[in-house]
Structure 1
């Protein structure tokens, strides 16, 4: 019965059925193709996204490395500046220590010993034909000239007839006697100084300098180099 009915389908109907089947098959094939394409596209899209993430991380890491490098360079520069300032401050401290030691020596707080000079000042021989005998006597002004010249020339310590001078020492003259910090000394007056003997000797013997000035004032001056001079520190009651 069914076979008959199928055979009895008109020719136009069979063509229509075939055409519908063909279109349906084409649609199914196209749908499958789109599904496959979407699947492949979706996979490639995930890979691209992952690759982009790694690229962004790499860029961020490079930027971070650049910032760290700049920070390291800055810190190294700061360290160099600190080391430089430390060396300079260390040198400054050494200079301050030397200066403080020199001040203690000049004030008499420390014992001083070393090479130096011995300068003797003696009254000149009096000439009765001269009106004023004081013109032949050593005065405190002569002592001051010698002491000031020695200090300028780098003296570490100075004494007069064994009495060591300090920052507040006072010297006065009473006739032929010189008083140093309350102690009286008669002539000759021996001034000893600790320091570089070559520098000190050149300073006092300079043309027109201290020795020439004292000699012109009729003072007998004797200068002698000393290989060792020892000056003890002053006691508290001597300052």
Structure 2
């Protein structure tokens, strides 16, 4: 800048002697001004670049946060679906119901009437569901919407696995409601015990554990997703 000032001064003083025209003098005088303007522009550009970079970081962080929130929300919904569809172990208050073949010596009862059949267990399960049971298992086999209970000779097949008597049903839910639906007079369980002499015992529990559904023996053969 000092050298530039000397040159400008020399040009101004000796301009006429050096045969320098006025336009050249004007350009030389404004070189420093242009240089300062360029430096200011560079500074502004750098500041804008920094601001753009900061905004990009903010936007990327916003997307990352939203993506993380979506993952957390999706995982919560998956766990919720697994819970409500029987794919998780659960624990809570409820009742235990034990049912086994009749020991009655009543000769008026047919032998088939003294045996616990699949329909008996199915009716009991439906009664418990209607009373608000939130989780049910029979001899450790979790009952879900695709569970099946079928006779297989002297045993029952539940979820494709053989289950022998006695049948222990555990149901998690409101204890009073569950107890009433299998103990009160007029209920199906009451008739099994008092008309057919089957062994039916029920008790409340404050801390029942019901296992998750084991899907290895259950397959969807016909149903398909609908688009």
> TM-score when scaled to structure 2?
0.55
Aligned length, in residue pairs? 141
Q: Does 1:167 align with 2:127?
A: no
Secondary structure of 2:102's counterpart equals coil
Specify the alignment match of 2:204 in structure 1.
225
Specify the alignment match of 2:95 in structure 1.
117
CA pair 111-131 structure 1, distance change in 2 beyond 3 A: closer
In the TM superposition, what whole-angstrom CA distance separates every residue of 1:41-77 from its partner, at most 9, and x where no partner exists? xxxxxxxxxxxxxxxxxxxxxxxxxxxxxxxxxxxxx
Specify the alignment match of 1:205 in structure 2.
183
In the TM superposition, what whole-angstrom CA distance separates every residue of 1:147-203 from its partner, at most 9, and x where no partner exists? 001101111111010111111001111333111011111110001111111121122
Specify the alignment match of 1:188 in structure 2.
166
Specify the alignment match of 1:50 in structure 2.
none
CA pair 141-188 structure 1, distance change in 2 beyond 3 A: same
> Which structure 1 residue ranges, 4+ long, deviate > 6 Å from structure 2?
none
Checking the alignment, whether the CA contact within 8 Å between 1:105 and 1:156 is kept in structure 2 is no
Q: Which has the higher helix share?
A: 1
Provide the C-alpha distance between the structure 1 equivalents of 2:189 and 2:101, rounded to a whole number of angstroms: 14
Quote the RMSD (CA, aligned, Å): 2.5
Specify the alignment match of 1:135 in structure 2.
113
The structure whose Rg is larger is 1
Q: Which runs of 5+ in 1 are unaligned?
A: 1-96
